[in-house]
Every structure is written in structure tokens, then in C-alpha cells.
Amino acid sequence: MTGAEDRTRAALDGLPRTFRPVVTRVVLLSLGAALVVALTVVALMMPHDGAGPWSTGDRITVIMVGVLIAAVLALLSRPKVTVTADGVTVVNLTVKRRLAWAEVVRVNLRPGDAWVHLDLADGTTLPVMGIQPGIAKEQALHDARLLRSLVETLGEAQGTTSADH
């Protein structure tokens, strides 16, 4: 076996793998759940009678605002990147895109970037919100390096080379 075949086999052994900003996800989902609980308690504790009674509609509206905000926070926690032997699946807020390894030329995470960017073979760039250095910078750097290594190893294994590597 050649060195390239060994690297390819080693890269495939750890797949499939999913990268996501776990700490950010936990914070967003916890905040959403706490907000729904807090607004539900507030809505149920408001006066039923007196000078300014709350109607059932008012209570439902407050609870639904909490649910709506929690839904937005859940949407913000959605980003992830899944790598398999066949390629990369990038899930951002509302868009999911599947890429073959040969389509990904380079993985970039420059200082100050909010997330990783993939340079694609068609000349475009795809943001990868699943790897964010915001709260867990060291984990994001580790994940970006691993994704870069997989792109280099598996992209080359499919007969693609890049002068940018």
C-alpha cells in the first residue's frame, strides 16, 4: 500500500463525522426553553380580574411569543457539517448543500472569521456555519484543521489536486 492509500484509509476510518458548535447549540436551546418556561409562568400569573385583567388571548399571545423566539433560537442552533466517505453535507440556517470531495478545493478559517468557508471548484465560496470559533475557539480550530485534512486527503484520493494546497 502506498502512503496516499494509507492516509485515505485512515481518513475513512473516522467517518461519518459531524461537526457542530455544541456549546453554542446548548446555550441557544437552553435559552429558548428557559424563555418559554418564563413567559408561560408570567402569562399564567397575570391577574384574572381587577382593574387590568389579562384575557385568555393575552396569555396565549405571550406564550406564543416565547415559542416563536425559541423557534428562532432553534433555527440558529441548526448549522452542522457532516462528512462521509462520499463527501460533505453543509447545513446552514435554512440551506442544506451536499458536495462531493472533489468539489471542495480548500477550507478557510482566517482570524476574525465568524465561521469556516469552503472554496469550491466552481470558483464560489460556501460558508460553513457548523464550525464557529465564537464560544469554543479551540474546538473550532481543531474541527477546521480536521476538515482541511479530510478535504486534502479524500479530494486527492479521487484524483483531484489543487495548486492552492
Q: Answer whether CATH 2.30.29 is correct for domain 3-21+79-157.
A: yes
- Taking the model in full, what pTM does it have? 0.78
Distance CA 69, CA 96 (A): 22
User: Which has the higher per-residue pLDDT, 134 or 103?
Assistant: 103
Q: Tell me which range, 8-17, 42-51, 81-90, is most confidently predicted by mean pLDDT.
A: 81-90
Q: Pick the residue with more confidence: 3 or 138?
A: 138
Q: What is the pLDDT of residue 50?
A: 75
Query: How far, in Å, CA of 21 to CA of 77, rounded?
Result: 8
Residue with cell 432553534: 74
Give the residue extent of every domain in the chain: 3-21+79-157, 25-76
Q: Could you tell me the pLDDT band of residue 26, with boundaries at 50, 70 and 90?
A: very high
Q: How confident is the model at residue 11 (pLDDT cuts 50, 70, 90)?
A: low
pLDDT bin (cut points 50, 70, 90) of residue 8 is low
